[in-house]
Amino acid sequence: SDIADVPNDSSKNDKKGKVNQVKASVTPQSSSELRQNSTSGQANVNEAKKAAIVPQVNIDDLKQMKTYLKLIKKQQKELNALKKKHAKDHSAMQKSHCTQVDKIVAQHDKEKLTHEKHLDKAIKKKG
């Protein structure tokens, strides 16, 4: 019963055994190439598993990332300050333009009123 508890290695090696049986009739060179390919394939799978589980990060990378994040934060702060300054300048310019336009409109209305008065006087004289 103790032997039954031990996992059977033949189930793991069935695929390898079948591959070796199929390639056994081929030249020894190709079977050695097969072994290299199978080991490199296993290495690729192991590397992929390691990369997927925990990416390795160097301390230098973290320091660079920290300085990068500081730089990004500083640039964002400067950008917000510039946007605020631009909005302030824009509103001041808009206010001055509105004031100038209001003055022009008032001047035009005043001139229009004086012209209408002169026209009315001229009509009364002739009429």
**DSSP character string of 29-68:** HHHHHHHHHHHHHHHHHHHHHHHHH-----HHHHHHHHHH
The residue type at 48:
A
Distance CA 58, CA 64 (A): 10
What are the angstrom distances between the C-alpha of 113 and each of 36, 104, 109, 118, 122? Answer: 102, 14, 6, 9, 14
Cα(123)–Cα(126) distance, rounded to whole angstroms?
5
The yes-or-no verdict on residue 89 having pLDDT over 90 is yes
Q: How confident is the model at residue 62 (pLDDT cuts 50, 70, 90)?
A: confident
Q: 30 versus 117: which is more confidently predicted?
A: 117
Instruction: Kindly report the pTM of this predicted structure.
Output: 0.42
Confidence of residue 64 (pLDDT cuts 50, 70, 90): confident
pLDDT in tens, 116-125: 999 999 999 8
**Helix 9-23 and helix 28-53: axis angle, to 10°?**
140
Average pLDDT, the chain: 76
pLDDT score of 126: 87
Average pLDDT score over residue span 48-68: 76
Report which of residues 122 and 52 the model is more confident about. 122
